[in-house]
Amino acid sequence: MDPGRRVGLYGLVAEFDNSDQLLRAAKGSRADGYRLVDAFTPYPIEEVSEALGHHHSKLPLIVLIGGILGALGGFFLQYWVSVIEYPLNIGGRPLNSWVSFIPVTFECTVLVASLSAVLGMLALNGLPRPYHPLFNEERFALASRDRYFLCIKKLDPAFDREGTRKFLEGFDPIGVYEVEN
């Protein structure tokens, strides 16, 4: 991509004292035409995610697929072992005694679904990510304590260094900071 992307300004970050102000700023920025906006909060706030247009997560679908694969894999592992590879006659019971295969099938379903939930969540969020430009801003450490941040990225078509700063200051933040890449 653009080699210049890694240097210079990343975006503008506004720090807020409370979640209501952040919510107003988030809604305002979307209404004003900004698209590359992200909010950072010490705990999940559903309204903010919705205001920024995060309505549907792909995660449930990933977990569903994981669960189905786990169930099929678990069952057919047992089927293959018990019927094809290593048939054992246990008191004349059918080789495909599917009722006794249910517990292991269930455990495999849960195992693969849970692994896909965690790995899927990390993948969708682009984690692990050891470096991020926002960590350059010292104040940003408070995002994991009690402050609320709104970031408008420079790559946003509507971004304008002075204009966006004025716009963010209109929401009465504690401060607006320029974040370098």
The 3-state secondary structure of 31-55 reads HCCCCCEEEECCCCCHHHHHHCCCC
* 180: three-class secondary structure by DSSP: strand
By beta-carbon proximity to another protein, the closer residue of 149 and 167 is 149
Q: Which amino acid is at 17?
A: D
By beta-carbon proximity to another protein, the closer residue of 51 and 176 is 51
x-or-dash string of contact with another protein, 47-66, rule CB under 8 A: -xx--x-x--x-xx--x---
Before 128, cis peptide (omega within 30)? yes
By beta-carbon proximity to another protein, the closer residue of 123 and 166 is 123
Positive or negative: CA dihedral 168, 125, 147, 24: positive
Using CB under 8 A, list all residues that contact another protein: 17-20, 26, 38-46, 48-49, 52, 54, 57, 59-60, 63, 77-78, 81-82, 85-86, 88, 90, 93, 97, 100-101, 103-104, 106-108, 110-111, 113-115, 117-118, 120-122, 124-125, 127-132, 134-135, 140-146
